Amino acid sequence: MAHPQMLLHRASMCARREALGILTAEAASDVSEAEVVLDAKWVTEERCYGAYWVNYAMYALRNMRARLILCGYLDANGMISYGDMFAWVCRYFRTRTDSEVCQFCIQSTKDRAHCDLLSTGKTAH
């Protein structure tokens, strides 16, 4: 399971926010006191956003077992690597605005709801 980088208000990393160049936004949660890390010295906001899509691809392909056997077969036989398959699924999810699942993924990355603990269950549903 992959999770976005979060900044907890009383964690030591929070005190080093400026030194680490951390840019955050409030997490989309009624109960969370955390902030989502969007940008830092070690990663750009664009790369963070791209990682959210990799998380959805990993969840769909691996965690939900949607294509576990097929992906393993394709990778083992040199037809397409896991990385390339995840990248393809990311592009697919980002462009299929006619799909309810893809619409959910698109909206949740825009409003940072992908950080919500229940996001994976909502994706599966």
Dihedral angle of Cα 69, 101, 8, 12, to the nearest 10 degrees: 40
Between 1 and 80, the higher pLDDT residue? 80
- Residue 50 makes CB contacts below 8 A (sequence gap 6+) with 90
Show the tokens assigned to 11.
Answer: 């964690």
* pTM score of the predicted model: 0.63
- Region for 15 from its dihedrals, namely left if φ exceeds 0, alpha if ψ lies in -120 to 50, beta otherwise: alpha
Structure confidence by residue, pLDDT tens digits, 82-114: 889 888 888 888 888 898 888 888 888 887 777
Asked if residue 79 has pLDDT above 90, the reply is yes
Report helix, strand or coil for 100: helix
Dihedral angle of Cα 31, 33, 35, 41, to the nearest 10 degrees: -150
- Residue 120 makes CB contacts below 8 A (sequence gap 6+) with 1, 59, 63
